[in-house]
């Protein structure tokens, strides 16, 4: 009997890893035809590495090098090599706090996704929930998108709205957006793993129009 190989995820994160946990849980529950091939972090003490360890999933810290907001050349090579060795089909950015540049993007073109805590193209960049609150919008949310060379600018795969309440603080709004992320990201990763997503320029279509 031939067992078809599963869709392999490489997950990159710098923080606590709650989105990674949400994805790992639906995979463990058998709801997504994928497996976590490797979890990488640029922060040795990051919760995401501990979460991977607790689940017995391959994980590694790779030092990012001398820059604050991107990987240096050696680090970029090490990340690309580790992900290629792990034979990943898709790279899932889950709170990875460094911008990915040319060689990395070229190595995995069209195969990197990210989640951002706003309804893009509104409020790209840092503290998007605070930007939404300061702007006074009544709805914000989260966006899963492909990664291109810009900041939070790639083609949009899925979005989920979150209302902004009159008594919201940055913390309460951020917490509700985070909860929405934990629903949206696993759904989008599952759709990609199942081959349900097609991309034409900026238009990303899904066989399941609920996204």
Answer yes or no whether residue 141 interacts with ligand GRF by CB under 6 A. Answer: no
Choice from 11, 12, 18, 34 touching ligand GRF (CB under 6 A)? 18
Among 6, 8, 55, 178, binds ligand GRF (CB under 6 A): 178
Q: Is 115 in the site for ligand GRF (CB under 6 A)?
A: yes
158 lies in the site for ligand GRF, by CB under 6 A: no
Answer for which of 15, 58, 65, 170 binds ligand GRF (CB under 6 A) is 15
* Structural contact between residues 162 and 140, judged by C-beta atoms closer than 8 angstroms: yes
59, 116, 145, 174: which is the annotated catalytic residue?
A: 116
- 9, 51, 78, 95: residue in contact with ligand GRF (rule CB under 6 A): 95
145 given a catalytic annotation: no
Q: Which of 10, 11, 12, 17 binds ligand GRF (CB under 6 A)?
A: 17
* H helix or E strand, kind and range, residue 174: helix 170-193
Give the separation between CA 160 and CA 147, rounded to whole angstroms: 18
Question: CA angle, corner 125, sides to 121 and 127, nearest 5?
Answer: 110
Under DSSP, the state recorded for 37 is: E
Encoded tokens for 51: 């979460």
DSSP 47: H
Is it true that the peptide bond before 121 is cis, omega within 30 degrees of 0? yes
CA distance 83 to 173: 34
Smallest distance from ligand GRF to CB 136, Å: 21
Q: Which residues bind ligand GRF (CB under 6 A)?
A: 13, 15-19, 94-95, 115-117, 178, 181
- Which amino acids are annotated catalytic? 116
């Amino acid at each position: 009997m031939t067992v078809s190989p599963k869709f392999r995820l490489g997950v990159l994160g710098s923080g606590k890893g709650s989105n990674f946990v949400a994805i790992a849980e639906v995979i463990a529950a058998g709801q997504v035809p994928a497996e976590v091939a490797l979890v990488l972090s640029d922060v040795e003490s990051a919760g995401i590495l501990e979460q991977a360890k607790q689940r017995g999933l391959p994980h590694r810290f790779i030092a990012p090098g001398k820059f604050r907001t991107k990987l240096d050349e050696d680090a970029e090579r090490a990340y690309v090599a580790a992900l290629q060795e792990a034979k990943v089909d898709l790279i899932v950015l889950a709170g990875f706090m460094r911008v990915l540049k040319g060689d990395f993007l070229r190595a995995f073109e069209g195969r990197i996704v990210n989640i951002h805590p706003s309804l893009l193209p509104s409020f790209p960049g840092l503290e998007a929930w605070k930007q939404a609150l300061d702007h006074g919008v009544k709805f914000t949310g989260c966006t899963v998108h492909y990664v291109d060379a810009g900041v939070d600018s790639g083609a949009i795969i899925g979005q989920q709205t979150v209302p902004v309440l009159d008594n919201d603080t940055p913390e309460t709004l951020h917490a509700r957006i985070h909860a929405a992320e934990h629903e949206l990201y696993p759904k989008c990763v599952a759709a990609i793993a199942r081959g349900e997503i097609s991309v034409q320029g900026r238009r990303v279509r899904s066989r399941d129009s609920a996204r």
